[in-house]
Chains A and B, each alone.
Chain A
Amino acid sequence: MRTGRRRNAWAALVGAIAVALALPLVPASAEETPSSSGTAEKTVFTVGITQDVDTTNPFTGIAAASFEAYQMMYPTLTEYSAEDFSTVPGLAESWEESEDQTYWTYKIRPGLKWSDGQPLTARDAAYTFNRVINGDIEQTNYGGYTSTITKAVAEDDTTLKLFVKRPSPIMYHLAVYILPEHIWKNIDGKQAKSYKNEPKDGEPVVGGGPFVLVERRKGEFLRFEANPNFYGGKPAADEVVFRVYKNTDAIAEALRKGEIDYANDLSANVFNSLEGAEGITTVPSVYSGFNQIAFNMGAALTDGTPIGNGSKLVLDPQVRLAVAQAIDRQVLADKVYGGFATPGSTVIPPLYRDLHLEPADPVGFDLAAANATLDAAGYTMGDDGVRVSPDGERMSLRLLGRQESSESQKVVEYVKDWLGQIGIEVDVRIVSEDTLYEKVGNGDFDMFEWGWVVEPDPDYQLSTFTCDQRSTDDDGTIIAGLSDSFYCDAEYDKLYEAQKLQTDPAERAAVVRQMQQMLYDSNAYVVTVYYDNPTAYRSDRWTNFTPQPAPDGVLLFQYGTWSYESITPVVEDAGDATSTAAGLTPGLILGAVVGGVGLFLIGYWLGRRRPSDYDVE
């Protein structure tokens, strides 16, 4: 009897657990996401991201998603247009350089308010600029914009004057996020280092951009609500959520299941697998990034002291030309990037239509021509199929690829193959990007594969080829500059300085084009491709995205918040546009049933076994 009772007790316990697990399923299925807080009409636009926002404090973040968040939370003086990256009004409705070129005047829109109702004026802007100019930690992210500015003065609520050391085109687009003085004056430089800038006690973070941050869970999501006080008017989407996923596979699946509404940076395979899925629209989206094979053109410090162990071979322009002729950029675009790329040429991508130079006499893929180039330059083919230089050196070059990128690893494999066919032996090493950065800074390379994402303002990109950006020596430690090719040309540097001071956009563009031609002719970089940003979104829920640039640019993660402001929910599905975990409920029920039955069986088994163990004797 004793054991019989025990068995019943076991079975009953396990059964009760099973029932307890299964019972609440019905109400559970009706449960909403916490983000929609009950009201069904709220429209939530959910973006899947793979790298979490590191911090919502605009002074300390470094992740791409963080800057996307800052753009949503805070205004800037001017913005880049969605159409073609031209300068358009932001917080300032107009701007003007003084006759003597010593200061700029920005007219701030009148009557604006922060999200908490406090007035948003030129004084906030002046406060922010002065804080950056005189700051320490504040310099980290924005020092580059304020290096020419000496001080900021708010003459009245709508007039901001920025005084400059010298004329600079950077004044057209100062991407410094204007912060509310009444909040930030209480956070000094020291506190700002560790200040989280997250919602507290249910109070949103005070902001002036199209959305305000209302909730944040690290590693999980950020939730923004539309800001009714935004100068561009309250956006149509009530809420925007950034949700963190671990990889693009997970993001693609979440999109398919309707957990999110938008995903980008998809791999070609994932993109293709989403194509044609119901309710999903896929767009390749042209992007502002390029990848290149770079050469070591004589690694040296800024004072000209040679460093590193680069091969002499790649110093010969004819060798670099031959390599350029031996790389089939179209094949790389098609096969390595799955068609989501276009063959590259110069260092300013074509989506910057006003600045990009399409070379007049492009170098095409032609192995015969490449061989001829090397033959003519005196590189004779050896018996082992590897050429020998006029000085008797075997043509063996090192090529570094990146561990982090499967495309990079494939590109170097293709390049190795092609160069093998023109008699250049390639020793490929795959290293992490940090190691590559280090090796490049020290000049310990012949060639490498990497890339840049180019800003609408060409200054930064062009600076990477100036003599001043070569490495420097700090007490025996070599510190890398921005230059990774060690290209150094006095003529080029002169042009660089000229464009830096030129505040007339058309004249500046002419100089920028001239510089691209110089770089192209030198083959310091063989720009392999301009890659796309494969994107997919739930077109059954959201429409009216604004690409940047028109007509086929990226839809989000732009220079500006155009799409967040313009998107509207698809009407017939409005109630459903909240990102509920669709498709989850049947799964849950099944899981609970299986689990319950399993537990019951285990319990029954345990109960059944006991008597034979302990009661026979």
Chain B
Amino acid sequence: MASDQQTPGRPQGRRAIARARRREALGRGWRQFRTHRGGMAGLGILVFFTLVALLAPVLFPPETISVTQATGELLAPPSAEYWLGTDDSGRSMLALLAWGARVSLTVGIAATLISMVIGTSVGIASGHYTGFGGATLQRLTDWVLVIPFLPLAIVLATVLGGGSTLTIIVVIGVTSWAGTARLIRAQTLSVEGRPYLERSRALGSGNWHQMTRHVLPNVFPLVLTNTTLTVAIAILSETTLSFLGLGDPLRPSWGSTLDQAFSNGAVSAGAWWYIGPPGLCVVLVVLSFTMIGRALEQIVNPRLGRQ
């Protein structure tokens, strides 16, 4: 995509060719993807949840999740009126889940974007620069990779001040990039060895040009695959951090709904409808991203196809 940027003075024809080629590759990828049953199932689930998230305000007007206007009994089991029962404020669990999908998906995707930007930049830079800078970046990657995620995330969230969705996004973003960076670095190293890069260097192109014009497009498929897998993990992380009470309780994600349920004694009360469905949603969405990621990976890296 980066090579799509407008560069004045370039002949249109070449870009058109490139675009056509890309379109063709995309079409080929889609045809391959369609043959993956797991990937397609994942895509189906994901489309469903995305629709639910987008349509939540239409399906369940904001009043339905307003505590002062809740109509249900507190902690009522599933009934004809409330298909998934009510929470301990008498709100419909179904409505809460739909609104929760918005938060969970937003956090997952936004955090992944941060993580991908950091991971890709660090990965390419540490692969491209061979000197002290590259080595430092590589060290940093290794360090962050080893530090256990959750304690680090807890510490960061505490320092940034818990209780806000933005904090959660940032925390997940800045703690989860190291794996990507390492992967991208390896790929960068192999790309850097290819003849056309040497030619480009010989022609005097700068570091920035080399990295964005040659390396990035080549590692991009890997970034894409990696993204779907990272979203899965980002959503899981969001759920965990929210469960620990670091999320925004007024914008309930699936994780903070679970936190609410747990800290209000839903376990003792045997309120399975308060605990089961949010977790199930997480499992389904995470699974769908994972399966899409696996399918993409097999397309990008055909050696894996045999598995």
A contacts, CB < 8 Å to B:
248-249, 252-253, 267-270, 272-273, 328, 331, 335-336, 338, 401, 403, 406, 409-410, 412-414, 416-418, 428-432, 435
Contact = CB atoms under 8 A, between A and B. Distances in A.
21 contacts: A249-B265, A252-B265, A268-B265, A269-B265, A272-B269, A273-B268, A328-B68, A335-B74, A335-B89, A403-B163, A409-B249, A409-B250, A413-B249, A417-B66, A417-B68, A418-B68, A430-B162, A430-B248, A431-B163, A432-B162, A435-B161
B71 to A, nearest CB: 12
A248 B164 CA distance: 27
Contacts of B248: 430
B88 interface: yes
Contacts of A248: 265
Nearest to A400: B163
A435 to B, nearest CB: 7
Interface string B206-229: 000000000000000000000000
Nearest to A429: B163
Contacts of A432: 162
B67 A269 contact: no
A412 B163 CA distance: 13
Nearest to B69: A417
Interface in B242-278: 245, 248-250, 260, 263-271
Given A273-B269, A335-B89, A406 B263 contact: yes
Contacts of A428: 250
B293 interface: no
Contacts of A412: 250
Contacts of A430: 162-163, 248-250
Contacts of B249: 401, 409, 413, 430
Contacts of B70: 335
Contacts of B265: 248-249, 252, 267-270, 273
Contacts of B250: 409, 412-413, 416, 428, 430
B75 interface: yes
Nearest 10 Cβ contacts at the A-B interface: A430-B163, A269-B265, A417-B68, A269-B269, A270-B265, A409-B249, A267-B265, A249-B268, A273-B269, A270-B268
B269 A335 contact: no
B67 A414 contact: yes
A580 B75 CA distance: 34
Contacts, number: 72
Contacts of B68: 328, 331, 414, 417-418
A409 B69 CA distance: 17
Contacts of B88: 269, 338
Contacts of A414: 67-68
Contact of A252 (B66, B67, B268): B268
A21 to B, nearest CB: 30
B39 interface: no
A406 B261 CA distance: 10
Interface string B276-298: 00000000000000000000000
B90 interface: yes
A417 B250 CA distance: 11
Nearest to A435: B161
A428 B249 CA distance: 10
B161 A269 contact: no
Given A403-B245, A409-B249, A428-B250, A253 B163 contact: no
Contact of B264 (A267, A401, A403): A267
Given A414-B67, A430-B249, A269 B264 contact: yes
Given A416-B250, A431-B161, A253 B74 contact: no
A333 to B, nearest CB: 13
Interface of B: 66-70, 74-75, 88-90, 161-164, 245, 248-250, 260, 263-271
A519 to B, nearest CB: 27
A435 B164 CA distance: 14
A417 B91 CA distance: 14
A551 to B, nearest CB: 28
A416 B250 CA distance: 10
A548 to B, nearest CB: 26
Contacts of A435: 161
Given A249-B267, A252-B268, A435-B161, 11 more contacts: A252-B265, A273-B269, A331-B68, A338-B88, A403-B162, A413-B67, A417-B68, A428-B250, A429-B163, A429-B164, A432-B162
Contacts of B267: 249
Most buried by A among B163, B264, B266: B163
A568 B260 CA distance: 39
Given A430-B163, A431-B161, A406 B268 contact: no
A490 B95 CA distance: 52
Contact of B260 (A268, A331, A335, A406): A406
B144 to A, nearest CB: 26
Nearest to B263: A406
A62 to B, nearest CB: 23
B275 to A, nearest CB: 12
A368 B263 CA distance: 35
Contacts of A331: 68
A428 B161 CA distance: 14
B90 A335 contact: yes
A435 B162 CA distance: 11
Nearest to B88: A269
A253 B269 CA distance: 11
Contacts of B67: 335, 410, 413-414, 417
B134 to A, nearest CB: 40
B271 to A, nearest CB: 8
Contacts of B89: 335-336, 410
Contacts of A253: 268
Contacts of A272: 269
A487 B69 CA distance: 33
A406 B161 contact: no
A407 to B, nearest CB: 9
A134 B271 CA distance: 56
Contacts of A401: 249
Contacts of A403: 162-163, 245
Contacts of A431: 161-163
A156 to B, nearest CB: 56
B30 to A, nearest CB: 44
Nearest to A331: B68
A401 B67 CA distance: 16
B46 to A, nearest CB: 30
Nearest to B247: A430
A335 B164 CA distance: 25
B68 to A, nearest CB: 4
Nearest to B90: A335
Nearest to B256: A409
Nearest to B164: A429
A249 B268 CA distance: 6
Most buried by B among A268, A272, A328, A406: A406
B66 A270 contact: no
Contacts of B245: 403
